[in-house]
A = this chain, B = another copy of it.
């Protein structure tokens, strides 16, 4: 992949995440990357395909990060693994700040309504994460560290919690870091047998 193409993808991720899709102009993107406007359209046939490319890249990054982190990892018990998934999600949301911010923006879900490629990639990301929560809960129920809750639904509720925390951080409403300990505590109370 050419240097310019990479620069365009990187800068567009930040701009789309921070300013939104409609409020980011190709002109601005051109200036920021040093690439001519024509170059952007040489690499991406239009603005929407540029966004899709970012989403596909993000999917790859997120799925790979989760798989890497948990492959071969043997946790003390299921409850402990839930805590690790929560922590890792929050860690990743800091590491891949702009990609996570992008995933919370509404325009992505508007595209997903009409474009199957958007839908598939979004679903892949969400399923990957929800599956990790569910696996951890199921493991906890097998080893007795987690009580009798509905695995999938509880996984979604946990997902909702950490995602909401990231949202509060992104909107500058509250300091997510200050809530971390209480969040982990809440999870433990929620899940214990």
Looking at chain A's contact residues, the main secondary structure is: helix
Whose C-beta in chain B lies nearest to the C-beta of A183? B157
The yes or no answer to A93 lying at the interface (CB within 8 A) is no
* Residue from B153, B160, B173, B186 within 8 A of A126 (CB atoms): B173
Binds B, one of A26-34, A41-49, A69-77, A174-182: A174-182
- Residues 116-142 of A, flagged 1 when their CB comes within 8 A of B and 0 if not, give 000000000010000000000000000
Given known A149-B182, A164-B163, A190-B190, contact A20–B106 (CB-CB < 8 A): yes
Copies of this protein in the assembly total: 2
Q: Give the docked Cα–Cα distance between A37 and B41 (Å).
A: 35
A50–B13 Cα distance when bound, in Å, is 30
**Minimum CB–CB distance for A27 against chain B, Å:** 15
Q: Is A156 an interface residue (CB 8 A)?
A: yes
A113 to chain B, nearest CB (A): 8
Give Cα A105–Cα B192 distance, bound, in whole angstroms: 35
Q: Is the CB of B156 within 8 A of A179?
A: yes
Interface residues of A (CB under 8 A from B): 19-20, 22-23, 104-107, 109-110, 113, 126, 147, 149-150, 153-154, 156-157, 159-161, 163-165, 167-168, 171-174, 178-179, 182-183, 185-186, 189-192
CB<8 Å pairs between A and B, sample of 22:
A20-B22, A105-B106, A106-B106, A109-B172, A150-B182, A153-B179, A154-B182, A154-B186, A156-B168, A157-B179, A157-B183, A159-B164, A160-B165, A160-B167, A161-B164, A163-B164, A163-B167, A164-B164, A167-B167, A186-B190, A189-B191, A189-B192
